Chain A
């Protein structure tokens, strides 16, 4: 089984690979790495789903709101009965809903959930983290002063006018969401009809803190 056949028959991320698929994973480090990254991504997404599941309003709040709504609109199946506690319940339910929504907005929408998905597992295929320059150097090819790919994965694009990354340089990665139009300002070619879209991008920072390279981590890394 070659790599193409493996991915054509691979189960959903997170599921266990079958025996004949597992044998390919044992033979192919590239697919094994990609498979592990997809599993990690699936696990992270499940974690996010579990966390958000607890952010829904309590059942009694929902019931109270439903009752209040029916009382206002005359949707009761029983004959409408005027009682003193209905307005109180309606206001209390509304207040509780506001508190829940506020908590959801303040705590649930902060970008804490997204970093839970490891940066090394973006929604794409291919090498996903920085590769060590030494691995390239071991290949015997001399480092080229104009080619920063010796220190990065193949999908990183060196920023215009950025200095090269030294083989032993301390580099770090920052993931940002950025409008495609901003990529144009960086000197990268972007399809004009999608400039209003946002993309996720990884930015490589050199030891001096300056940005050196960028890659798009969703949509297969394409800028078009």
Chain B
């Protein structure tokens, strides 16, 4: 009788064990947790929601191709809170078969806290932040900011072109094309390297709704905002559900003093 019981227990344990995604199986990824890392600038009075997809294609020297994709759903309310529903099926393009559960990042500059929610385990990591940078009304778009950074990188050649205004996914967007040339020998390269970034920046949303970047070192990358909805997202999206267990993060570590 005891043998039957022991066998039953083992079968039951094996069944339950096998139902946990990725657990204990060699070669698989396993999700442990998440943490909001560093919030971007706060943008107020420009609420929206959108799907954000990024595709990267790199052609290797032998003709082989590496194609990576990532998708997320992004929300922002009028107070500048953001919610990022990140699919981890490919873990940001790292592994096409990672098949990890999704994670949700909430940045709440009003409360000064960030959350990383794991809906699968109904847990969240809370991080208390200082005040993130505010995006002023006349803040430059990504193209101008990029140009400012790159202008300090002599002796690279930078060229900026205005591409006019287009309506992309229902919003007006100003296009800029930024061309950076790394001269031969700058990074050990025999020939000049040309990097072209085309960004379509929405002054209403304060985001680039379409970015195309071509860099021979990293391949071609396209980031698209689609299904843009400019209505105010429900406030509940920026709150942690009541049944989630919250653990506190130690927060960002200060930079060690140089000795």
* Partner of B107 from A94, A133, A170, A179 at Cβ < 8 Å: A170
Contact partners of A176 in chain B: CB under 8 A: 29-32, 91, 98, 100
Contact partners of B121 in chain A: CB under 8 A: 110-112, 115
Would you call B221 an interface residue if the criterion is a C-beta within 8 Å of the partner chain's C-beta atoms? yes
Q: How many residues of A contact B (CB 8 A)?
A: 83
CB-based contact B247/A118 at 8 Å: yes
- In the assembled complex, the Cα of A122 lies from the Cα of B207 at a distance in Å of 34
Would you call A105 an interface residue if the criterion is a C-beta within 8 Å of the partner chain's C-beta atoms? yes
CB-based contact A163/B251 at 8 Å: no
Question: Given A163-B218, A163-B221, A196-B26, does the pair A172, B32 have CB atoms closer than 8 Å?
Answer: no
- In the assembled complex, the Cα of A129 lies from the Cα of B180 at a distance in Å of 32
CB-based contact B91/A174 at 8 Å: yes
CB-based contact A106/B16 at 8 Å: yes
* Partner of A170 from B38, B223, B248, B253 at Cβ < 8 Å: B38
A window 190-224: CB within 8 A of B? 196, 198, 200, 203-212, 214
- In the assembled complex, the Cα of A114 lies from the Cα of B40 at a distance in Å of 28
Contact partners of A44 in chain B: CB under 8 A: 247
Would you call B108 an interface residue if the criterion is a C-beta within 8 Å of the partner chain's C-beta atoms? no
* Partner of B37 from A101, A135, A145, A172 at Cβ < 8 Å: A172
* Partner of B256 from A30, A69, A186, A196 at Cβ < 8 Å: A30
CB-based contact A208/B187 at 8 Å: no
* Partner of A131 from B16, B91, B253 at Cβ < 8 Å: B253
Would you call B35 an interface residue if the criterion is a C-beta within 8 Å of the partner chain's C-beta atoms? yes
In the complex, how many angstroms separate the beta carbon of A212 from the nearest chain B beta carbon?
8
CB-based contact A105/B16 at 8 Å: yes
CB-based contact A105/B17 at 8 Å: yes
Would you call A173 an interface residue if the criterion is a C-beta within 8 Å of the partner chain's C-beta atoms? yes
B window 22-52: CB within 8 A of A? 23, 26-41, 52
Question: Given A115-B125, A120-B250, A175-B32, does the pair A209, B40 have CB atoms closer than 8 Å?
Answer: no
Contact partners of B247 in chain A: CB under 8 A: 44, 115-118
Question: Given A36-B250, A129-B253, does the pair A205, B86 have CB atoms closer than 8 Å?
Answer: yes
CB-based contact B40/A207 at 8 Å: yes
A window 83-127: CB within 8 A of B? 90, 94, 97-98, 101-102, 105-106, 109-112, 114-121, 127
CB-based contact B27/A179 at 8 Å: yes
* Partner of A175 from B33, B92, B248, B255 at Cβ < 8 Å: B33
Question: Given A98-B8, A105-B16, A111-B32, does the pair A161, B153 have CB atoms closer than 8 Å?
Answer: no
Would you call A182 an interface residue if the criterion is a C-beta within 8 Å of the partner chain's C-beta atoms? yes
B window 205-258: CB within 8 A of A? 213, 215, 217-219, 221, 223, 245, 247-257
Question: Given A29-B257, A167-B149, does the pair A72, B20 have CB atoms closer than 8 Å?
Answer: no
In the complex, how many angstroms separate the beta carbon of A116 from the nearest chain B beta carbon?
5
Would you call A168 an interface residue if the criterion is a C-beta within 8 Å of the partner chain's C-beta atoms? yes
Q: B82-97: contact bitstring with A at CB < 8 Å (1 yes, 0 no)?
A: 1010111001111100
Would you call B176 an interface residue if the criterion is a C-beta within 8 Å of the partner chain's C-beta atoms? no
* Partner of B125 from A29, A98, A106, A119 at Cβ < 8 Å: A119
CB-based contact B20/A119 at 8 Å: no
Contact partners of B41 in chain A: CB under 8 A: 168
CB-based contact A115/B93 at 8 Å: no
Q: Look across to chain B and name the residue whose beta carbon is closest to the beta carbon of A36.
A: B250
Contact partners of B187 in chain A: CB under 8 A: 146
Would you call B72 an interface residue if the criterion is a C-beta within 8 Å of the partner chain's C-beta atoms? yes
CB-based contact B249/A119 at 8 Å: yes
Apart from A109-B20, A112-B122, A129-B252, 7 more pairs, CB < 8 Å: A112-B121, A112-B245, A120-B253, A166-B146, A173-B37, A182-B95, A209-B87
Chain A interface (Cβ < 8 Å from any Cβ of B): 29-30, 33, 36-37, 40, 44, 68-69, 72, 90, 94, 97-98, 101-102, 105-106, 109-112, 114-121, 127-136, 142-146, 151, 153, 159, 161-163, 166-179, 181-182, 185-186, 196, 198, 200, 203-212, 214
> Can you name 27 A-B residue pairings with CB atoms under 8 Å?
A29-B254, A30-B256, A101-B12, A102-B16, A105-B12, A115-B32, A115-B125, A116-B123, A119-B33, A119-B125, A120-B250, A128-B253, A129-B250, A129-B252, A130-B252, A143-B153, A161-B66, A172-B84, A172-B86, A175-B31, A176-B91, A176-B100, A177-B30, A185-B95, A186-B94, A196-B26, A210-B93
